[in-house]
Structure 1
Amino acid sequence: MLEIDGTLTALPVLDVETEREFYDYTAKHDRAQRTEHCPSMLPSEITGRLKQYALRAAGAAAASHPQGLAGT
Structure 2
Amino acid sequence: MGDQDGFLVYTWALKDGRTVAAGEWVFAGQYDHDRGGRDAKDDRYTVTATASGRERAVGGAFAAHRGDEGDS
The TM-score, its normalising length taken from structure 2, stands at 0.28
- Bigger share in helix: 1
- Bigger share in strand: 2
The TM-score, its normalising length taken from structure 1, stands at 0.28
Higher relative contact order structure (alpha carbons within 8 Å, sequence separation ≥ 6): 1
